[in-house]
Amino acid sequence: MPQVLTARDVAALLDSGQPIPEGALLTPTARDLVGERQRDAGSFARGAGRALPAVVPSAAPAAVPAAPALPAVAATVPDHEFKWAPGSDPQTPAEIQRFFASPRIEEIKHRICDLGRRLWLKDFTDGNGGNITVRVGDNLVLCTPTLICKGFMKPEDLALIDLDGRQLAGTRKRTSEALTHLGIMKRQPAAKACVHAHPPHATAFAIANAAVPTCLIPEAEVFLGKIGVAPYQTPGTPENADEVGRLGVDHQAILMQNHGVIVWGKDVEDAYWKIENLDAYCRTVAIAKGLGTGLHQFGPDKLKDLIDLRLKLGMPDARANLRECELCDGGETRPGVVVPPGGAPAPADPPPDAQVEALVQRITDEILRRLSAE
């Protein structure tokens, strides 16, 4: 076997004037060292007065058998959407009970309880506030019960209702605000889950009647879309269900004036994320407004790109057919301005009364006359 020399071995030989053995294999760093020495000194004695020959590249090592190719791994995205065959809803009481206790439904019950606790831990709900629904059939919806803290729910607490709100299974009474969720689900088939809560920053916008500005953060435009604003109606009433349901067709995130927030998604995790997204966005906007330098918006051409991305991700967006000049607002939250249905700013106040203006002018003139006479 030929001798293998490292850079340290070669340096010792050259420094002592000894020749490099014929046939020796040099490591790459050893070959580099020889080249450097040859460039620096021209030639080196290899034995008595002989120049160092050019280093012959070492023989290639024996081929190592290639490792077997690993099978390609298909990258996946978590998908918790509940899918069912149309027309497969259970009909009889016994069938409904079996369905309600089935492994697939139990899995969703546990996920709802987990998300309820996450809502509670983030202070998005207080007391018995908030509610969650998941559509699990043509006419079947899982929902949270009334009068329960969302941070301490158990799977056996949940109820099964139909799209008219009639309870089909579960020992605890369903939440009265389920009607609002159903108002969205009836009108928007893509709404497979809804989450209602009172996240403080987003709810602050709702009670201040402040429209949430657009064209500020890309993630908000992609994952939330245009944020709707529903006029106030008493919670749990058919009127509130109609107002919110109408907006839910084109808006995945809705501020309910003087109440809170409701969002929908393809599954309950997706809907929960939107609650987090919305509150974080409102918090950031409120902080940025307080800096006093104004809000820097990107242009409508950039918003068009984000809307296209949103559509590619399978999320509807009613802004897709708008012209660029109709997309971005002025970046103003317009505090104190009531936002009517559809989220557009309220019309300007009517012009002042002419008689009142004339009276104010006469009073002002009289005050100025008296001041000048003194």
Q: What is the dihedral of CA 51, 57, 62, 67, to 10 degrees?
A: 150
* Location of structure tokens 């030989």: 13
243 is known as an active-site residue: no
Buried b (16+ CB within 10 A) or exposed e, 125-135: beeebbbbbbb
Q: Catalytic residue among 22, 177, 269, 366, which? A: 177
Measured CA to CA, the distance from residue 241 to residue 281 in angstroms comes to 25
| Sign (positive or negative) of CA dihedral 149, 155, 156, 158 | positive
End-to-end CA distance of the chain: 120
Measured CA to CA, the distance from residue 261 to residue 244 in angstroms comes to 10
Q: Which residues are annotated as catalytic? A: 177
